[in-house]
Amino acid sequence: MGIPPTGGWKETFLQYSGIPRIKLSCIQEGVEKGIRVFLWNQEDPFFDSPDGERIAVITENGFLKRLLNLEGTEKNSYSFRVASGPFSERSFYIHVPCEILSNLSSGPGTCRDSEDRGIENSGISLHERKRILFVSVPWNLLDVEMGARWEFRLFYSPFTGKHFAETGPVVDFGALRRLFQELVLHAFRHLGLPLVKLRHPFLEKPAFSFRIDADGFSRESTDSVLRIAKGIGNAPFSWFIDVQGWGKNILHVKDLIACRQEVELHCYHHMTYKRESVNRANLKRGVRTLKRHGIHPRGVGSPYGFWFQGYQEAVRKFGFEYSSEFAFNSDDVPCFPYNDSTYPLQVPVHVGSIGVFEKVPFPREDMFTHLRGTIDKAIRDCGCALLCDHPLGRIEKYEVEFIDLFKDLLKSGYRCVPVSEVAEQTRSFLLQDFHPVAEGPTILIEGPSAGSCSFEVILPQGGEFEVRGGGSFVVREALELVGDEFPCPPKPEFDRFLVEHGKDQSLTHLTLMQWYRGLARFHIGRLRREARRRFQ
C-alpha cells in the first residue's frame, strides 16, 4: 500500500498488521510503481485527473472535506458501532471528535455519544469519483501518534457483561486495527486484487505471557507466585521490580532467578513523570541497584501505566529493548513509538488486573471467565496474550485459580513465554522487508527475508492466483475476524466510573530537584523509623 511520508498511525497500522507499505511523494509515483491501494490524507494533483488507473484510497472525512469542498460539523464520539455489511458487526471505544460531512452519503456504522445516542451521518463513507474509490472514516486519525492521548477510561468484558475502568488510550487501537484491515480488504477486492500479509510468528505457535508488577515486597506473596510458576512446570513469568518498594529485600531477586523467572525494572520510585530528567534519575537509580545484584534489565514498565513523551525519551536513552505502558496502548499488538525502531518496542497488555476487577465487583468466577475469554481472543487475533497482575493481596488470593487457568491454557496448546521473548519475536516481525508483486494470475513475493517468513494471501472473490516465492503461505478467501464489543453503560454506572480515578497524578509534574528532595525525605523518614524501633 502507498502512504505519504508523514508517518503517524497509518504507518503503524500497516506495519503491525503485516501489510507491506511504501512511502511516496505523490500518488502518481505509486501508480507508476504498480501500487493501486493507498492510505492517504494529503493533497495530490492525481485527484483532479479525470482519467487514469482505477485506484482505491482509504482516508478520513477531514481530508474528503478539503478535497470535495464540503461543509462539515464536528461532534464528539464515545464509541462506534457497525451493525450491517459490508463490514463485520462490531462496536468499540473511540473517544475523539468525528467529522460529519454535508452532501455526502454516510455508509456503514454510526458514532455514538457518551449517552449512547447515535450521531446522524457518522458512518464510513464509500464514495466513487473519477475511477477512484474513497473509503473514508469519520475520525481524523491517520496522522495521530499513539500514546499522545489517554485517560482513565472504561473497558468492557463481553465474557461477563460488565464494565471496568483502567488507564488507557482514548482510542481502542486494537479494534480500530481490525476494522481497518476490513477496509483494506474491501479496497483490494474492489480492484480484484489479492491482499498479501505477513503472518505473525505467534500465530504458528500461540503463547501467553504473565507480567508481574511487583509493587512492594512480601515473602508470602513472592512464594505464592513462585508456587504458581512451579505448579505449571517452572513457567518463566516476567517480574517488574519496584526497587524502592522492595528496599533491603532486593536480595530476593536471586530467588526469582533461581526459579527461571525473568527480572525487569518497574522504576526506582513507583511513579512515572512528565519530565525526561526526572524519569532518567528514577530509571538510573533502579538500574544501578539491579545491576549490583547481577540483573541487567532488558525491559521496563511504567508505574500506574502512565505514558509521557519525557518518559519515552528517558527509556530510549537507557537502551531498553522494550517498554510497557497501559496508557500507550492496550489489548493490541506491540509497535514502535513514532514508527521508529530506535525506540524500545511498546508491549501492551490484554487484560486488567485483579484489583480492577474487585472494584466492579467481579465475583471470583467472573474474573477467570473474563481472563480466559480475553486470552483466547488475543491469541486468535495476534497469536499471543499478555497478562498483567500484582502480588501483595492480589495474585496470591487466587493461587489455585491461576494454576487451574494456566494448566488449561497449556492443555489448549498455548506456550508460556517471558515478555522478552514476545518483544524479541515481534521486533523481528515488524522489521521484515518483503514486496508482493502481481503479474497476471501469479503473485511473486520478493524481499531479502521473504524465504524465512510465513504469509497470508487473501484472494478476491472469484479470483484465482498462483503464489510463488520463498516462505510458506496460508491462502484464504476471507480474513480471520475477531469481533469487538463496547456497549456504553447506563448513565448511573457511567457517572460512577468517571469519578473513581483512583490514581494520583499529582507527583508526575515534579522537577528534578523536587524529586531528590522527596527521595531524601523518604530515606530520612525510614532511618528515623528504624532508629525508634531499635531504641524502644
Note whether 488 and 497 are within 8 A (CB). no
pTM: 0.94
SS (H, E, C) 255-273: HHHHCCCEEEECCCCCCCC
- How far CA 44 is from CA of 40, 167, 308, 390, in Å, comes to 10, 39, 34, 51
pLDDT at 443: 82
Give the phi and the psi of residue 188 in degrees, each rounded to 5. -65, -40
Encode the chain (536 residues) as per-residue pLDDT tens digits: 999 999 899 999 999 999 999 999 999 999 999 999 999 999 998 988 777 789 999 999 999 999 988 998 999 999 999 998 889 999 999 999 999 998 787 889 999 999 999 999 999 999 998 899 999 999 999 999 999 999 999 999 999 999 999 999 999 999 999 999 999 999 999 999 999 999 898 998 999 999 999 999 999 999 999 999 999 999 999 999 999 999 999 999 999 999 999 999 999 999 999 999 999 999 999 999 999 999 999 999 999 999 999 999 999 999 999 999 999 999 999 999 999 999 999 999 998 899 999 989 999 999 999 999 999 999 999 999 999 999 999 999 999 999 999 999 999 999 999 999 999 999 999 998 888 887 777 888 877 565 667 888 898 876 677 777 666 788 888 888 898 999 999 888 888 877 766 567 788 999 999 999 999 998 888 888 888 888 87
Beta bridge partners of 90: 82
Domain locations along the chain: 2-198, 207-428
User: What CA–CA distances, in Å, run from 191 to 19, 53, 64, 161, 186?
Assistant: 17, 10, 21, 40, 9
- Confidence at residue 53, expressed as pLDDT on a 0 to 100 scale: 85
Identify the pLDDT of residue 305.
Answer: 92
Q: Which value, in Å, is the radius of gyration of the alpha carbons in the chain?
A: 25
Type of residue numbered 280: R
User: Whole-angstrom Cα distance, residue 368 to residue 365?
Assistant: 6
pLDDT at 468: 74
Task: Name the DSSP class of 509.
Answer: G
Contact 290, 313 (CB under 8 A): no
Question: Torsion-angle region of residue 114: left (phi > 0), alpha (psi -120 to 50) or beta?
Answer: alpha
What sign results for the dihedral spanned by CA atoms 185, 123, 338, 510?
Answer: negative
What's the one-letter identity of residue 382?
A: C
Across 366-491, where does the E strand assignment appear?
384-389, 415-416, 435-439, 442-446, 454-458, 466-469, 472-476
- Do the bridges between strand 435-439 and strand 262-265 make them parallel or antiparallel, or are there none, so unpaired? unpaired
**Which residue, 504, 452, 496, 461, is CA-closest to 479?**
461
Q: What is the largest CA-CA distance in the chain?
A: 91
Q: What is the DSSP letter of 252?
A: G
Task: Return the pLDDT at 522.
Answer: 85
Query: What pLDDT score does 463 carry?
Result: 66
- Closest CA relative to residue 302, chosen from 269, 330, 331: 269
Residue length, the chain? 536
Give the three-class secondary structure for 341. Answer: coil
SS3 105: coil
- Residue owning grid cell 526459579: 259
C-alpha cell at 91: 462496536
Task: For the chain, report the end-to-end CA distance as a whole number of angstroms.
Answer: 73
Query: How far, in Å, CA of 503 to CA of 523, rounded?
Result: 23
User: What pLDDT, on the 0 to 100 scale, is given for residue 130?
Assistant: 85
Which H helix or E strand runs over 375?
A: helix 364-382
DSSP-derived 3-state class of residue 72: strand
Sign of CA dihedral 411, 412, 417, 419: negative
With contact defined as beta carbons under 8 Å apart, do 67 and 42 qualify? no
CB 391 within 8 A of CB 428: no
C-alpha cell at 130: 473519477
Q: Domain 207-428 is classified in which CATH homologous superfamily?
A: Glycoside hydrolase/deacetylase (3.20.20.370)
* Predicted pLDDT at 247: 92
